[in-house]
Structure 1
Amino acid sequence: MNFDSIYIDKLIAMREDARQMKNYALSDNIRNYLDSKHIFIFDSKQGQIVYHRKTGTRSDLIKEIKEDLQAQKLFDSWLFSMQQTKQIHYEPAQS
């Protein structure tokens, strides 16, 4: 185990603490360092979302996330249309 991997979790926690204390310069510096190690942190209402990657950049990851979200939206639309079709075609006749 190398020095970097030992302290990654500590750095992630330190970054969250820095954000909470509104020390955005420190938070950004930690994020940039982690980016260089292919550990990408995104902030959300629920807290930090951390991605551990072996290769790639933050931009590559954002592109993948957007593609995954688009694929999910397309699948959800298809599923909704299939459910609607099933209701129209297979709904039993009422007497």
Structure 2
Amino acid sequence: MAKPKARQMADLSDLAVAGAEVTVRVTPKAAFNAVQRQGDIIKVLVTTVPEGGKATADVQALLARALGLAPSRLELRRGATSRDKTFVVRAA
């Protein structure tokens, strides 16, 4: 899958520690792709429609890019069908 282009990309490299849990709030069908950080809250906006796991895959790709990691190092822990998702950073 191609990397989704993002209009705004927050630097989340400080969270890229093995074993760390990253909880995000997802907005599907947004006007543009973005990763926004507002204090402790991380918002991920994706243009993808939430069907068949497509939006979750794009969220994982954008979040990995913001963390400076490969998407394969992020594992979805909770929220496969929810707007609130928790990812875990796996060791390299």
Normalising by the smaller structure, the TM-score range is under 0.3
> Which structure is richer in relative contact order (CA contacts within 8 A, separation 6 or more)?
2
TM-score where L is the length of structure 1 = 0.27
Larger radius of gyration: 1
TM-score normalised by the chain length of structure 2: 0.28
